[in-house]
Amino acid sequence: MKLGELLNGLDVRRIDGDLNVEITGLSYDSRQTRPGHLYFSTARDPKRNRANIDDALNRGARAVVVAGWDGGLARPAVTLVECERPRILMGAAASRFFGAPSERLDLIGITGTSGKTTTSYILASIFEAAGMPAGIIGTIGIFIGAKKIYSGLTTPESIDFESALAAMEREGVRHVAAEVSSIGIAEGRVDAVSFRACIFTNLGRDHLDYHATMEDYFAAKLRLFTEILPRSRRESTVAVVRGDDPFGRRVLESVKGSKISFGMDRSLDVYPEKFDASLSGIRATLSVLGKKIEIDSPLVGEINLLNILGASALSAALGIESEAVADGVRRCPGAPGRLEAIQAIPGVTVLVDYAHKPDALEAVLTTLRRIGARRIICVFGCGGDRDRGKRPIMGEIAGRLADLPVLTSDNPRSEEPMAIIAGVEQGLIAAGRVKIADPKKLALASIGGGYIVEPDRRAAIAIALRIAAAGDAVLIAGKGHEDYQLVAGRVLPFDDRVVVRELAAELGGGQS
C-alpha cells in the first residue's frame, strides 16, 4: 500500500518526504522492523525513543511516525510523519492496512477488573457449540480455535490486534471474544476497532500504578461503551453490563444505545432463578431475557456463575439458541489458571487462580467459604513494581477470609521480596493475625489466628500441601496460568500447577 493511501484523511500534523513510497508492513517494535515498513515510535522516554527510531531506520524502515522530530532525524529516502499521538494513528493505519476485519467479524469486547478471561473462554465454547468457529484475544494469548498465534499483552497493540483479526478471518472465524484492558483503552489500542458488542463484568481496585485514581480507571473502561462502541461500523451493537455492580449501574446509565443487564438480582434482564454452586460445579436455571436455560457447568463458585450469566446474556443478544448456550457452558472447562483444580492430595481441593488484586482475592475466598470448604489455606503474595497501596488490602482480605494465610513471593520484579511481604503483613496484622514462628512444626488443627511467611514460593506451596487435610481447600493465588517468575530482572521457570503436581508426587498423593 502506498504511504499516501495509508494515511489519507488521518490526523497528522505534517509529512516530510515522499508519500508514494510502497509500505510493505507496519511495526512498533524496532526489532521487528523490516525493509519497507512504516515504523511507529511509541516509547515515552526520549532517549529510548530516539534509539528505537535509529534501530528501525537501520533495519530498513521506509517511513517513521513520531510525536515530534528535530533535524537529526532526517535521512535520505525516509519519510517522516508527525502526529500528536502515534498510537492513535497506528490503530487507524493498522485497520486500513489489514482491511478492517472487525467490520465483518462479530467481535466481542470484554472489560472489567475480573472475569474477562473466563468469560471469553465460555463465549468461545458457546460459539463452537453453535457451529461458529471462534477466536480468543486475551491475557493467555491469541487463539484461532486451539491454535495459539500470540503471547503478550492482554489487549495487544493495534498492529498485532488487527493482524490477528485478519488471520482469523482468513481461517474462517466469524466470532471473536477479546479482553479489553483499561490500559489498552487508554492508549488507544482499540480506538479504530468496530465491536459488535461489549461486556462489562465489574470494577475493583487494579492498575492504580497506571491510572491516578479509581475514577480515572473507571473512566477508561467507560470509554469502551460511550465512545468506542457507539462509533462501530457494525449494526445492532449492544452493551451487556453487570447491573448489580455499582460501577456497572453507572455504565448502564451512560449507555445510550441497546443494552442488556445481568447479575444475581432478579430485577435484571438475565439472572439465576435458582442455582447450586459447589466444589464439583454449578447447576442453575437461568432466566435469559424471559427464556429459561438449564445450566450444568464444571466451573466452581458464584463468581463463575456471574461469568456464565454475562456470556449467556451476550449470546442471547446475538440470537444464539438456548440449546447451544447450555451445551457450550457444559463443555467449557474454564480458562487455564482460573480456579483451575489440580489433582494433588486425596480429599483436598487444590485450586490455582490468577487472583492478584483485592476484589478478585476476596471473591475467590468468599466463593470457597460459601461452597463448603472445611478450612481454607491461602498461598498468596503481591507483585513488585506495581500498586503498593493494594498490598495491605490484600493482606487484610486473606487475614479475614482464610483459615491460614501463607504469605510468599509473587513476581517481585526489581523490588526486594521481603519489602513487599512487609507491606502485605500490615493488613494481616490489622485483621488480628499473628505471625507463626515455626511453620514446620505446625498442624492445621493448631493454627489459631496465625499466618505464615515463606518468601520461597515453592516452599510456601509445600507447607500448604503438607498441612492440608481431607475436606480442606488450598488456594494458590496470584499467578494463575503464568509459567514464570520475575525476579531481579530474570525470568525464572515457575508454574504453580506444575509445582503442585511435583510436590504432591513427593508427598505420595499426587496424580499427573
What DSSP assignment string belongs to 244-274?
TSHHHHHHHHH--S-EEEESS-TTSSEEEEE
User: pTM value?
Assistant: 0.94
Mean pLDDT value across residues 297-304: 95
C-alpha pair distances (Å), 450 with each of 85, 445, 447: 52, 12, 6
The band of 44, judged by pLDDT with boundaries at 50, 70 and 90, is confident
For residue 309, is pLDDT > 50? Answer: yes
CATH number belonging to domain 340-507: 3.90.190.20
The band of 73, judged by pLDDT with boundaries at 50, 70 and 90, is low
Please tell me the predicted confidence (pLDDT) of residue 204: 87
Mean pLDDT value across residues 383-401: 96
Q: Which tens digits make up the pLDDT trace of 96-149?
A: 999 999 999 999 999 999 999 999 999 999 999 999 999 999 999 999 999 999
Alpha carbon distance 51, 73 (integer Å): 11
Q: Which tens digits make up the pLDDT trace of 229-247?
A: 999 999 999 999 999 999 9
Alpha carbon distance 479, 481 (integer Å): 6
H or E element: which one contains 287?
strand 281-288
For residue 189, is pLDDT > 90? Answer: yes
The letter for the amino acid at 308 is I
Q: Which tens digits make up the pLDDT trace of 166-178?
A: 999 999 999 999 9
The DSSP-derived string for 57-102 is HHTT-SEEEES---GGG--TT-EEEE-S-HHHHHHHHHHHHTT-GG
Alpha carbon distance 333, 122 (integer Å): 9
Alpha carbon distance 492, 412 (integer Å): 12
CATH 3.40.1190.10 fits 98-331, yes or no: yes
For residue 74, is pLDDT > 70? Answer: no
Mean pLDDT value across residues 242-261: 97
Q: Which tens digits make up the pLDDT trace of 433-483?
A: 999 988 776 665 567 789 999 999 999 999 999 999 999 999 999 999 999
Please tell me the predicted confidence (pLDDT) of residue 511: 43
Please tell me the predicted confidence (pLDDT) of residue 438: 81
Give me the residues paired with residue 150 across strands. Answer: 142
For residue 512, is pLDDT > 80? Answer: no
- The DSSP code for 236 is S
Please tell me the predicted confidence (pLDDT) of residue 205: 77
- What superfamily does domain 3-86 belong to in CATH? MurE/MurF, N-terminal domain (3.40.1390.10)
Alpha carbon distance 433, 506 (integer Å): 31
Please tell me the predicted confidence (pLDDT) of residue 241: 98
The DSSP-derived string for 128-194 is HHTT--EEEEETTEEEETTEEEE-S-SS--HHHHHHHHHHHHHTT--EEEEE--HHHHHTTTTTT--
Task: For the chain, give every domain's residue range.
Answer: 3-86, 98-331, 340-507
113-146 b/e (C-beta count within 10 Å ≥ 16 → b): bbbbbbbbbbbbbbbbbbebbbbbbbbbbbbbee
Please tell me the predicted confidence (pLDDT) of residue 441: 67
Q: CB of 139 within 8 A of CB of 179? A: yes
C-alpha cell of residue 175: 466470532
C-alpha cell of residue 416: 526486594
Number of CB atoms found within 10 A of residue 46's CB:
9
Alpha carbon distance 17, 19 (integer Å): 7
Average pLDDT of the chain to the nearest whole number: 94
